[in-house]
Structures are given as structure tokens and as C-alpha cells.
Amino acid sequence: MLEDDERFNAGTGSNLRLDGKSIQMDASCMVSSGAFGAVAAIERVKNPVDVARRVLATPHVLLVGDGATAFARRCGFADFDPTTEAARERLRALVSVTGPLGEWSRAELERAWNFDTPLREALGGDTVGSVAWDGEGFAGALSSGGTTTVLRGRVGDVPLPGCGLFAGKCGAVATTGDGEYIAESLLAYRAYEELERDRSPEQVVDWALGQLEDSVDVGIIVVNRIGFAGGARHGMAWYGQGAEALA
């Protein structure tokens, strides 16, 4: 449902890259048995998280790029262009800004640019996630359309085990925000370790938000057998709880 809502940066509504043409998406699923399935840099599917769930049922952990898209077609997922006018407008707004482009200076981006469309021609919502407990096991899922100011083929924290997502016998954790920083810190797995130390979800959220520099955007949701909590920095939208949760 979140991937189908254009207000979110996942599935339909994913961000266009700076070339004005490319959309590459990441998604992952994990359950408390330790099984993990993910896709990275997948293109032209409506619901990347459904493809990740299919990977969960294979011997593999992660499928990327053209291989992930081909796997989706083999599983019966139709070709779908997630480009929206809202994504085009976000790109127009971004490239109209002078100065740095996200983490990149213009000069740095020109040196590293690897799209077919030249940079000068190209320049002419948040990730979604969920965590759940059904009374027996825990599960989590993430889906992201990535950010505009990245190179083609960039992979963020979402499809990397223990970075954006982790589930085990003590609970489940999902994060969102600045993907490179989250990945480098193995934030989801380290937050899960705090659950293993009998910290409450609220305590884990507070702990996790203090692990990265103040300039880094990050949000997190956590569930265990006794509760659910979420939090975020810098005004990021952070969580909602279903009416049936923890019933």
C-alpha cells in the first residue's frame, strides 16, 4: 500500500535520478528465522517489496540490477514505469538549486558521472518500512526509491542485511534516512542487539538516534514482544501503528 502511494519514495513515487530518466529501487524482507531476501537497483516493477519476498523463498539473499528485473518478470511481475509527474517536479526543483547537489559538489559529480545522458543535458518522500509480530515470529520489510543525487547502480542501506533492516527472535528493526551512513554503522543489527540486552523498544529508539552525527537524517521503528516504538530526527516522518498491532 505504501509503495502504491505516490507521496512516498518507494515503488510508484520513487525518485528520478539526475539524468531525468532513471529510477532504480531497493527493497528487502526479513523474518526472525534469519531468512533475508532483497533486490537492489531493480527497475520497471510496481512493487519491489513483492519481488524481495520472492527472493526470500530462494537460496539467494540479494539480486541486483538487470538480474533482479529479469527475476521479477520470471515470477510474473509485469513491466511498470514508476515515473510520476511529482517525481519530475522534485527533480526540477532540485536542479534549480545552486550549490551542492546532495552529498556532491558539481565538480565531483561531473568527474564521477556514469549515466548515458551527459550531466549538462540532465541538469537542463521518504523510504517506507514496516515491522510486525504475529504472536510467534517477527518480520520486517523496507522499500526505497533511493535519492536523486546518486550514481547509476548506487545501493543504499535497504537491501543490505543488518543495515536498514533486521529481524530475529527478540524483535524486528527497520530504519530510514541517509543510507550510506546507516549502512556503514550497521544500525539495524546493532539496534537489534540492544533488544537482545532486554532494552525496551523506546530505549532502543533513543539509543539508535544517538549513534550517528547530528547532521545525519535517520528514523527507526522497533517492535518486540512487549511493545512498539519509533522516532526520527530533523522532522522526518517516522511511524504509524495499526489498530490491530499488539492486540
**Catalytic center residues:** 127
Give the DSSP per-residue string, the chain.
--TT-TTSSSSTTPPP-TTSS---EEEEEEETTS-EEEEEEE-S-S-HHHHHHHHHTSS-SEEEHHHHHHHHHHTTPPP-----HHHHHHHHHHHTS-S-BTTB-HHHHHHH--SSS-HHHHT----EEEEEE-SS-EEEEEEE---SSS-TT---STTSBTTTEEEETTEEEEEEE-HHHHHHHTHHHHHHHHHHTT--HHHHHHHHHTSS-TTS-EEEEEE-SS-EEEEESTT-------TTTT-
Q: Vertex 147, ends 53 and 37: CA angle to 5°? A: 15
Cβ atoms within 10 Å, residue 221:
24
